[in-house]
Amino acid sequence: MGEFKVHRVRFFDFMPSGIRCMAFNSKADRLALARLDGSVEIFNFSNNYFQEKVIPGNDSRSIEAICWVGCDRLFTAGLNGEVVEYDLERLCPKYTLDAFGGPIWTAACNSEETHFAFGCEDGSVKLFEILPDKIQFERNLDRQKGHSVQRILVDRGPAGTRNKDCVVWNVAFLSDYTIVSGDSAGKVQLWDANKGTLIKTHLVSKWDVLSLSVSENEDSIVAGTSEGTVVQFQLLSPKIGDTETQWVRTRTFKHHTHDVRAVTETRTAVVSGGLDTQLVICPLMDKVEVKSSESVLRKVIFPHRSLVSCAKKPSLLLFQFPDQLELWRLGGTDTIGKPGESLPVTRKPEKLLQLKRKGDDHICCSTISECGHWIAYSTVSSIRLYQLQCDNNNISITKVSKLPKVLRSAHQLQFSADSSKLFVASEQATIHVISVSRSECKHVHTFKPKSDVFLPTGSSAPVHLLAASADGQWLTSANRHCEINVYNLKKLKHHCMVPVYNSLPSAMAIHPETNNLLVTHADQQMFEFGIVDKQYTDWSRKLQKEGLHRCRLKWGTPVTHITFNPQAPSQVILHDMHMFCIIDQSLPLDGLKAQFYSQLTPKDTSETDKPRKNNALKICNKYQPLLHVNLLEDDWLVVVERPLIDIHSQLPAPVRQKKFGT
Amino acid sequence: MATKRRGGLGARRKGNMEVKAVVDLGADSSDDDVPEEVTFEKAKADAVRSMRNALETVKRDKELLKEKRRKRQELFQQQKKRKLLSEDMLVEIESAYTKKGKPLDSEEQEKEESEEDSEEEVVNARLKESYKAVRLKDQIDANTRQESASDFIRSRLYGPGTNRTTTNQMLSLKNKTGNNKTAAVQFVNKNWGSENKGKAEKFKKRWVHSLTVVAN
């Protein structure tokens, strides 16, 4: 098993955006991250650092500071002078408020969470009062009128750099009246707030110190620099047994290649992000108690969902960018080669269509139908549906203008297997079923999530996964509260709910023949649920008892797509960022303890290697980093890779480091 | 005072010249002579004359300045008048406007009012939900402020004086200092020589075709 011809696709120019600021909410164990394109992402740290929610960006929004209030309210402020509160259930901005002070450079919330302070361009600090459903302007602290206690001058830096003014990028005020400042000369300085004097200077780098963060119990400070290093300072006593403590520079991490513009500290790790677009979670080994998933260095590079849709019959790929969609037809080859050989491309892949979005909001989801005739995408403010006609060399696209009024925005879109219906997952976890045809689009039905004894109103968490069965009878949806609902399309009502497993589902698919729902979760567990029987299948129970091989569980990145092989109904193909694997449900599982053999080529096998062949799990990590893996007809596999060096080559300029001997 | 002195000097010089002439004539006589006698009245007359001259020059200067200022003021007023519409035109316009308004009957007035009202309503309805009246000036101000703020950040991070290098350099450095030392990275421009590549492709096709024809 596992012999395919592979379309190796590397023309998806996926370019993530740099990280600008972040805030950690220790009560909810979630990290909110803001990127340079205005998008906000929320990572759930207790759920294997899964990217739980993504609020798409906006061309006019710029974010300079992000702040949590309580467990579930998120605010950002930016250079356009506006304060935005986000609705984390509908994944869009709730309202924007102009602070009327020019560009806002920084924001802070007090520890009782009653007031917000914004530092504006005109030199004033504006105080806002936090009310249950909005914030209200309270007063203005002007530059001259406010009671200035001390005026501290930061000196320019070591000789040689005195030509430029020193810009203080960050300031932190500790409860023992110590001020910590990070500036553009690369110094982290500690000041006494009562006397206005300098206590200690630490020269951390030759370039700017761009970000500073203080831990919750104020015993550790982390600073991020322009050259990509993250430096930690800890409050320690220099001599053992001495009660006097000092801030001592302890650790230096270099996990980034470009400027680190955001750092924060959790209880057990240092989280940093910068212009190289990667989020790095580095565990602090003296705080980690148990050897678990917490003690591993993690880098989040790709989003935890699929940005590629595939129309299998016409071999079309739809790529989703924040500002446009691109439709490509796969190329082809006429030669038949030997296993392991790379075949010459006779028909080049062609870009058929580039569809730019209208308006400022970025695209949040998109899909293409199986037959390749319908394309749909959605932003936070609108949904658009297009009909595509593609006869050999002529392509025409027409927009479907009259969409049912009930469609406003979507969190997820999916066409049915016969391309006659479009499923739109909207706010409040409702799913609208729209029938699409050449003549008109009609709203057929709206599914609402099942209300429970425990949740009388039904969960309103946003839906992030949709799966439709091949025979058009079943539809499943997964939402951010880890609930999976199954709907009957023929009878148009709710069928059942899969037992809730505490980890977020990362990918889901319905088997075309057996109608079993296969779900993978953020903690790498996999379940198979029989829809018709309304219970877990025997294979799933066996899997839970014996477990797949242990190296499967070590994967840091979640599975983003599951697909099936029409030629071999017992095979399941899933992939994450670093590998794709085939699980054969008819072969026996090896269990956690067994030795893992990976087959390189089918010709390798000999008669004595029978036990090897019978392994259910086969992994291939030849193609990475992966964005999408899908199976086309005739044993063709399409693999969409995005080499990290291509992303690297388009990043902004890094600092010049002079190394000896080069 | 300076003028006075000058005047005085000049007058005295003249007088001195005369005196000098007299003295020169008498210069042949010895140096031990007593200095010549200038009568008190003469001196008084000289002083008075010089003062009068000085006062006169001051008056003249003041008057000249006044003239200049007046002329400038007039010039400005003329320019201002030219900018504004002429009074006649304004009068004409006003009369035309009032003429329009005057001969309206009460009925017609009501109709006009109702039309205006309905227009307003229509305008209000139009402006209600999907449109918002925004002052363009505010928008432009906000945009310029935002741009200047982001320019500040860009210039501090990437402007002159910051030691920045290219991504090519950084990757090459990694290659050279890594465990397996390899050559520097060179980025290839895919669009380079696209014409030549196209020609080469066409030639290849033709050549392969000619070979197959020959073979057949």
A559 or A605: which carries more pLDDT confidence?
Answer: A559
Q: Where are the domains of chain A?
A: 1-16+556-594+612-655, 167-300
Task: Give the pLDDT of residue B29.
Answer: 54
Rounded to the nearest 10 degrees, what angle do helices B40-83 and B2-25 cross at? Answer: 140
Please answer whether residues A578 and A619 qualify as being in contact, where contact means their C-beta atoms are separated by less than 8 angstroms: no
DSSP letters along B81-93, please? HHHSPPHHHHHHH
Going by pLDDT thresholds of 50, 70 and 90, the confidence category of residue B105 is very low
Taking an 8 Å cut-off on Cβ atoms, the answer to whether B171 and A163 are in contact is: no
Instruction: Point out the least confidently predicted range of A558-562, A602-606, A644-648.
Output: A602-606
Taking an 8 Å cut-off on Cβ atoms, the answer to whether B170 and A62 are in contact is: no
Count of other CB atoms within 10 angstroms of residue A201: 15
Sequence-ordered list of residues with C-beta below 8 angstroms from that of B140, at least 6 positions apart, any chain:
none
Nearest by CB to A659, which of B166, B168, B177?
B177
Taking an 8 Å cut-off on Cβ atoms, the answer to whether B165 and A645 are in contact is: no
Task: Give the pLDDT of residue B21.
Answer: 43
Taking an 8 Å cut-off on Cβ atoms, the answer to whether B149 and A208 are in contact is: no
Position A484 pLDDT exceeds 70: yes
Q: Encode pLDDT of B168-194 as tens digits.
A: 888 888 888 878 888 888 877 777 888
Q: Which two tokens stand for residue B4?
A: 């006075």
Question: Which DSSP state fits A396?
Answer: E
Question: Which DSSP state fits A603?
Answer: G
Task: Give the pLDDT of residue A157.
Answer: 47
Nearest by CB to B166, which of A105, A653, A662?
A653
B156 or A152: which carries more pLDDT confidence?
Answer: B156
What element of type H or E holds A119? strand A115-120
Taking an 8 Å cut-off on Cβ atoms, the answer to whether A164 and B161 are in contact is: yes
Q: Which CATH class is domain A167-300?
A: mainly beta
Task: Give the pLDDT of residue B71.
Answer: 94
Stated pTM of the model: 0.79
Task: Give the pLDDT of residue A143.
Answer: 64
B30 touches chain A (CB under 8 A): no
Position A254 pLDDT exceeds 50: yes
Torsion of CA A374, A379, A380, A383, to 10 degrees: -30
The C-alpha atoms of residue A70 and residue A67 are separated, in whole angstroms, by 10
Task: Give the pLDDT of residue B23.
Answer: 45
Taking an 8 Å cut-off on Cβ atoms, the answer to whether B157 and A62 are in contact is: no
Closest-CA distance of chain B to residue A44, Å: 31
Nearest by CB to B176, which of A184, A259, A662?
A662
What percent of chain A is modeled with pLDDT above 90?
42
Position B107 pLDDT exceeds 90: no
Position A414 pLDDT exceeds 90: yes
Name every chain B residue with its beta carbon within 8 A of the beta carbon of A655: 162-165
Q: Encode pLDDT of B43-98 as tens digits.
A: 999 999 999 999 999 999 999 999 999 999 999 999 888 877 666 677 777 777 66
